[in-house]
Amino acid sequence: MEQVKHRIHIGEAELVRADADFDYTLDAQFVPIKNPDGSWKFLNTSLCEEPYFHKFIGAAENIYQKSELYEMDNNGYLDLWPAGVWIMSAYKFEDGLMAGFCHREMISRTDPNFGNCFFMGLAVSRDNGESWKYLGDVCSNVLNGGSFMANMGGCPLLVRDGFFYIYFNDADAQGVYRVSGARMRIDETHDALLAEKLPTVKKYTGNGMWETDAMKGTGANVLPQTGFRPDTHAKGVYCKALDRYLLTAQTNGEGKLLLFLSPDCEHFDEWLVVDDVGEENLFMQPYSFFMSVDGDCSDDMNVVGKEFYIYYPRKGLEHGRGYGYDHDDLYRRRVIID
């Protein structure tokens, strides 16, 4: 397969919004959805403080023109802080129905018997993303319920050849970490969401097979060795100009935001560094997302053309130099494909 990463030109980091200008803590990536009038809404969930479900009306160059809220119906699933549902990616079907790809967690910092549980799940919207109903969990990991917080990440989405592909942090029973994926048929997912049910979802087994139980098994690794431990609180997109599927991943305390390329949503052999703050600066870059600059994109921003932004925060870690998780400086870099 031809190497294409040399065609990717990444611009300088541009500060979009300083921490002092945020009135809440970034706790998920922004989810862009096009409105009927041509503007964009950007959904952003933060269960760090109320209100939880933020919505901004804006555009590629300014995603903060108007601040509102969106609605999330947890449908009986636990919503006791710090548990809840975060929408991380969305897909718009031709008939207007929308699928929301979610992160759900149940954790307790005070009750050791509660357990630490993380899931990927599905929500449905019938009003172009203004309101959502969570339908249930479709993917989990084998360390759920124990003392170790095996956070599955942010459910980046890729769409290819009749399947939805989602990616997450996974682990086996011994705690060996990897980034894996799961997939579900698009047509089955549409019909299931319409009936407010769940589709069949299988984790990546390896060697082209997707047969592992997504709720009970451990998926095979999909990312190459980079020397860093990637984390999937990030996003995916198909780039038409490259004919490649792009997946971002951050490296927590190692201070890097990585971009992986794949021809088939299974093999991510090419990769490059988008942002590097250095390990000594104690920042991480979770919650990245893509936003088209040239307008050549899908209405759910799962497809982009030859010019787009990668937005991401430089977020403080829980330790060192006075920076904590609630510190957010939002940056972006302009990407041009030649």
pLDDT tens string 88-108: 999 999 999 999 999 998 876
Going by C-beta distance under 8 Å and a sequence separation of 6 or more, which residues neighbour residue 180? Answer: 167, 168, 170, 203, 204, 218, 219, 220, 221, 222
Angle subtended at Cα 179 by Cα 173 and Cα 182, rounded to the nearest 5 degrees? 90
Residue 17: closest CA among 50, 51, 56, 46: 56
Residue 285 has pLDDT above 90, yes or no: yes
pLDDT band at 315 (very low <50, low <70, confident <90, very high): very high
Helix (H, G, I), strand (E, B) or coil at 10: strand
Positions of E strands within 214-255: 236-239, 244-250
| Domain around 227 | 5-337
pLDDT tens string 9-36: 999 999 999 999 999 999 999 999 999 9
pLDDT band at 159 (very low <50, low <70, confident <90, very high): very high
Going by C-beta distance under 8 Å and a sequence separation of 6 or more, which residues neighbour residue 28? Answer: 44, 45, 46, 86, 87, 88, 103, 154, 233, 287
pLDDT band at 198 (very low <50, low <70, confident <90, very high): very high
Residue 79 has pLDDT above 80, yes or no: no
Provide the whole-model pTM: 0.96
Average pLDDT over residues 215-219: 97
CATH number assigned to the domain comprising residue 163: 2.115.10.20
pLDDT value of residue 1:
63
CA atoms of 262 and 244, how far apart (whole Å): 6
How many structural domains is the chain composed of? 1
CA atoms of 327 and 48, how far apart (whole Å): 12
pLDDT value of residue 108:
60
Average pLDDT over residues 294-306: 98
323: number of Cβ within 10 Å: 17
Going by C-beta distance under 8 Å and a sequence separation of 6 or more, which residues neighbour residue 49? Answer: 24, 25
CA atoms of 93 and 91, how far apart (whole Å): 6
pLDDT band at 286 (very low <50, low <70, confident <90, very high): very high
pLDDT value of residue 281:
84
Range with the poorest average pLDDT among 56-70, 140-154, 269-283: 140-154
Angle subtended at Cα 285 by Cα 145 and Cα 274, rounded to the nearest 5 degrees? 130
CA atoms of 187 and 191, how far apart (whole Å): 6
